[in-house]
Structure 1
Amino acid sequence: MIQPKALRRGDAVGVIAPASSPDQRKLTRGIQFLQSLGLKVYLGRTVTEKQGYLAGSDQVRLGDLHEMFLNPYIRAVFCARGGYGTARIAEGIDYDLIKCHPKIFWGYSDITYLHMAIQKFTGLVTFHGPMIVSDFNSAARFSFLQLFQPLGLAYNDRISPLQVIAEGKRAGSLTGGNLTVLTDTIGTPFEIETIGKILVIEDVNEPVYRIDAMLQQLKSSGKFNGIQGVVIGDFTMDKDQEAYSKELDYFFRCFFQSAPFPVLSGFKFGHGRRNYGLAFGVNACIDTAGKLLTAEPGIQL
């Protein structure tokens, strides 16, 4: 994998909206957060564009992405928000351009599609973490520190209560993201690759039967063959969260309890209030005996 260069105070970073349009008030707060880290922020056209549920036309959003990677002064590309739309531009991306100009690429939710595509066709480590219109808190600030110095991940039971669903200890590179989007990649050139990997999954406002259907789709597609482990992040629902969580926990245990690979749940990755950043493509290890997920740094000095 290709590790992008670390950020330094004073570096220029770009903000784009490759999917849906961001809320401008939240965008302003996010820009202020980046500036508080000592970064100079440059905005792409898409952060103020709107075309229905998209942040401008496919051509505009694709152009924004290319321009940020091509610009020699931009050291990182942050996505303003998710929503929908990245699948529409994946086939038009110049992956050789990205490979020749590797830099930090950060986002989650619908951005999962771009994580899969960029990793598959460039080998660049990408980052799954809170976006610019997200509410920034201690978890978000801590997550961004990994972009300034090569900090490895060590996520254990002290950060959040973790539950062992299937026991074991395995190593593999991290991949995954939003479960709905991962399922959408099946049958496309950007289909998720899981052999030898540790799969991270999360989602929002999906009923349990839909999560069941999507995991069954991954299973029937052979995506759990040769996998090294599953890490279950946040699955949130706007209402009745407590009842939803109980039903979902029961489902995960039924689905994964006889898995021949380790499965841990309870991680704060995804659409929850805390969203710790992850480097996708780096070597990692899942160990259920210690309730621990470790991973190598995603950047190089």
Structure 2
Amino acid sequence: MILPFIKPFRLQERDTVAVIAPASPPNLDNLERGIEFLQGLGLNVIRGKSLTNINGYLAGTDEERLQDLHEAFLDPEVKAIICACGGYGTGRIAATIDYEMIRHHPKIFWGYSDITFLHTAIRQEAGLVTFHGPMLGSDIGKEDTHPLSKKCFQQIFQPTEWSYTEDISPLEVLVEGKADGPLVGGNLSLLVSTLGTKFEIDTKDKLLLIEDVNEEPRAVDRMLNQLYMAGKLDDASGMVIGDFADCIPKRDLSLALHEVIDHYVKLANKPAMKDFQMGHCNPQIAVPLGVQATLDTTEKKLSVDSGLM
């Protein structure tokens, strides 16, 4: 079933936002600085009950993290949900989320990395536009966070279209052309983990964003090959290649990362550019997912509609 996309409402000063950890436990020092950042934007912050819980590599049990997510969407005072960090764990709760409830209580949902699974599931099951952007414990709370990463939060206060050009970072054209469609995707590892499930990423006539971290070129090769064989690269209207931080060989015999990415992008032969500062990078540029976007390699520009009502 194809759902019409729902844009959440913009934030206003003194609105309440919920901070949750639906995957791994956050660095507590960074988390506190991140919460102070949100408060400095004039927002009231409430914390999920399991925000500081530790269950191995998970921030509490699946039931606790699911409860935090549900309560945040159900609470009428909460206008946005900001994830503390990624790590691992969102795929474990995806099948038990009440997507119908989310559809009837739309609000801003923000995060990236392991949160990619939730971006994909929430968009495809509830039709909600979500935001792929830096998180509190893993990005904003760090002492060396780039001002551009913090500035990206302004887009959830004001509905505006925006463009990514070489004023932000140099971009390399891999396949020339112009493509448009809803922007989808996120972390490559998590996108691949949706394949074969009810949450399998739908890339048909969409711009596909990919990024990753700490994966050897051969691992990136394996994942891109799987997406390619599953038809996801051919289905996409174009590709937006984000940051692949520390994706370097750990063995003597290896292809270079750029050789791997270029190979699959050119196999798909859809308009594509790389080196967008989106992903595990500093600065990190936030972007709404599920909204209409246009990639133009002649102008070296990605234009994205507002993600807000």
TM range (shorter): over 0.9
1:106 aligns with 2:110: yes
Correspondence for 1:153? 162
Q: Provide the secondary structure at the position in 2 that maps to 1:45.
A: coil
Residue 137 of structure 1 and its aligned partner are, at CA, apart by: 2.7
Correspondence for 1:233? 242
Aligned counterpart for 1:72 among listed residues 69, 73, 76? 76
Residue 142 of structure 1 and its aligned partner are, at CA, apart by: 1.9
Residue 101 of structure 1 and its aligned partner are, at CA, apart by: 0.4
Is residue 14–residue 41 contact of structure 1 (8 Å, CA) maintained in 2?
yes
Is residue 217–residue 249 contact of structure 2 (8 Å, CA) maintained in 1?
no
Q: Which amino acid aligns with 1:11?
A: D
Correspondence for 1:251? 260
Q: Provide the secondary structure at the position in 2 that maps to 1:46.
A: coil
CA distance in 1, matches of 2:160, 2:88: 31
Is residue 220–residue 260 contact of structure 2 (8 Å, CA) maintained in 1?
no
Q: Which amino acid aligns with 1:189?
A: K
Correspondence for 1:290? 299
Q: Provide the secondary structure at the position in 2 that maps to 1:193.
A: coil
Correspondence for 2:130? 126
Correspondence for 1:9? 13
Q: Provide the secondary structure at the position in 1 that maps to 2:198.
A: coil
Unaligned runs of 5+ in 1: none
Q: Which amino acid aligns with 1:272?
A: C
1:57 aligns with 2:66: no
Aligned counterpart for 1:271 among listed residues 280, 283, 295? 280
Aligned counterpart for 1:169 among listed residues 157, 174, 178? 178
Residue 258 of structure 1 and its aligned partner are, at CA, apart by: 4.8
Q: Which amino acid aligns with 1:160?
A: S
Correspondence for 1:33? 37
CA distance in 2, matches of 1:14, 1:149: 19
Q: Which amino acid aligns with 1:87?
A: G
Q: TM-score, normalised by structure 2?
A: 0.93
Q: Provide the secondary structure at the position in 2 that maps to 1:225.
A: helix
CA distance in 2, matches of 1:177, 1:194: 12
Shifted more, 232-241 versus 152-161: the winner is 232-241
Q: Provide the secondary structure at the position in 2 that maps to 1:63.
A: helix
1:88 aligns with 2:88: no
1:204 aligns with 2:204: no
Please provide the CA RMSD for this pair: 1.6
CA distance in 2, matches of 1:88, 1:252: 29
Q: Which amino acid aligns with 1:141?
A: K
Q: TM-score, normalised by structure 1?
A: 0.96
Q: Provide the secondary structure at the position in 2 that maps to 1:8.
A: coil
Aligned length: 297
Residue 98 of structure 1 and its aligned partner are, at CA, apart by: 0.5
